[in-house]
Structure 1
Amino acid sequence: MTPGSNLSLKCKKPDSDHLMPQKWTYLLLKEGNSQPLQKHTATGSWAKFSLLLVTDQDSGNYSCKYLEFQNPQRESEASSALEIWVKDILQKLSLSALPQRIITPGENVTLLCHGPAWGMRFALYKEGDEKPMQIHDPIQDEAEFLLTYVTTNHTGNYSCHHHSDAVNQVMAQPSDPLELIVKGELDIPLRQALGSTTILIIFSCAIILFFLFLLAFCYHRSYIDIRG
C-alpha cells in the first residue's frame, strides 16, 4: 500500500449450522498491540474493517477472531496473519553475475536479480535499450536471466527492475548497474572461418604471382629470340 490509501480487511468465520440469525462480534488484531484495533458486531458470517489514509505506522501483521455476542467468553482462535506494508519506495534490488561478470565469447552467464517480489515480475534492462531484454516471474524473491553463447556485443551495463502493468504500482528502486565484460579469444567457428579466408587469400595471391612470373619469363624469352 502507498501512504494515504484506504484499505479494507474482511474477516469471515466458518459457515454456521444455525438456522436463526445470530449476532457475532468480530475483532481486528494487530501484532504488537495488546488490545483489538477495531470491533464490529454483525448478524452474519463476516465483517469488514477499514483503515483510512494509511501511513507507514500501519505496516504489520493483522489477524482477526470472532466471539458469540451473548457469550463473549466463547471466542475463536485468531486467523492466520496477513502482512501489510505501507511504503513509498521498497528496498533497492540487487543484480549479480554467475559464475562471474568477466567472461569470454561463447560462454553462458546468468544474471541473478534479488529483491522484494511483491507479486511483481522482474525485468532485465541493458543500458541504451528502451525495452527490457527479458521479463520473468519471481521465484520466491529472485529471478534468473540466462544469456547464452555471449559475444562482445553483450558487453555493457545491465540493471534489474520490477515490472508491472498496474497504474500507480509501488515500485522498488532498480538495482545498481552491473557491468558485463565479454573479452578474450574469438570462438572456434569464427577462428576457423577467418583461418579459411586467410588461406584462400594467400593461395590466390600465390597463383597471381606465379602467372605474373610466368608472363615475365615468356616475355623475356621472346625478347631474347627476337634480338638473336
Structure 2
Amino acid sequence: MARFLLTDLQASNSGPYTCEYYRREPPQISSQPSDSLLLLVTGEFPKPSLQAHQRGVVTARENVTLQCQRLNNSFESVMFALLKAGAAEPIRVQGPAKEKMDFSLRSVTVSDAGNYSCVYFLMKAPFWASEPSNHLEITVKDKTERESPKMAETGVGTVELTLIVIFILLFILGVFLIYKYTRCGAAPNKMTKCSRSSKDPQEQRTSVQPGKESDDLSMAITSCSPALDKASQVSRAEEPHTVTYAELNTRALREGLSRQMEQPLETCVYSTLKG
C-alpha cells in the first residue's frame, strides 16, 4: 500500500485520478490502472440550496427526498453530488441536469441521520465545482421509541399513570362519602320536637295572670329534657342564644281544661303566646 499526499490544492487539480503498481526489477511489468477517482476542488461556482420535502423528525423505514438546486443555470448541464458530514466521498452522484436534482433516501435508518450538503460540477475538464450548500440536518426516530423522554426517565408508563389517577379518584370519593355520612347520618326519629319562642322564659311567666291557671300552664310548659341526643344538642348550639326550647305536656293541658269547665265562669284575662 502506498499513500500520496496532495497539498495546496487548486482548481486545476480537479479531475479523475488512477493508480497502478509495477516491479522494480526486470522485467518491470506494471499492473492494470485502478478505477478512476474523481477529485473535486470546490469553490469555483456559487453554492446551491438543499431542501427536504419532509419537515421535522423522520421515522425509520420512511423515504426521504432531498432536492439540490443551483441559482445560476446559464451554462451547460452539470452533475450533482450529495455529501454527508464525516463521509470521505459523496453519498450519491446524479445527473446531468440543468437546474436541480432530487436525491431519494429509501427506508432510512438511524445511521442515516446527520448533516447533509450538496455541490454541482462540470462533467468534463476542467471539472470545476461549486461551493457546498448549507448543512441540512436529518433526524431519524426509531419506531420502537414510543415513550416520551420524560416518561422513559421516570420509568412510569401509561398503565401505571392510569392506575394512579384511578386510585386518587377513589380516595377522594371515599372521603366525600365519609363526610356526608357523618353530617347527615343521624336518625330523624331520635330528634325531640320542641316549640321555639323568641321571648325570654321570664317574660313568658310574667305575661300570664296569677292564679290556678298559671299553675296548670307552668306544668304544661316544661323545659326540654337534657337527655336529647348529641345531634339535637349540636343543632341547638348553632341556634341563637335568644331561642328557648320547650316541650308541651298535653296531659296537664287536658286536666287544666277540665278543671276550668267545672268551675263557674269568672272574669278571665287572656294572653297570647307567640309560638
Same fold, TM-score > 0.5, yes or no? no
Which one has a larger percent helix, Structure 1 or Structure 2?
2
Which structure has the greater CA radius of gyration? 2
TM-score (norm 2): 0.37
TM-score (norm 1): 0.43
Which one has a larger percent strand, Structure 1 or Structure 2?
1
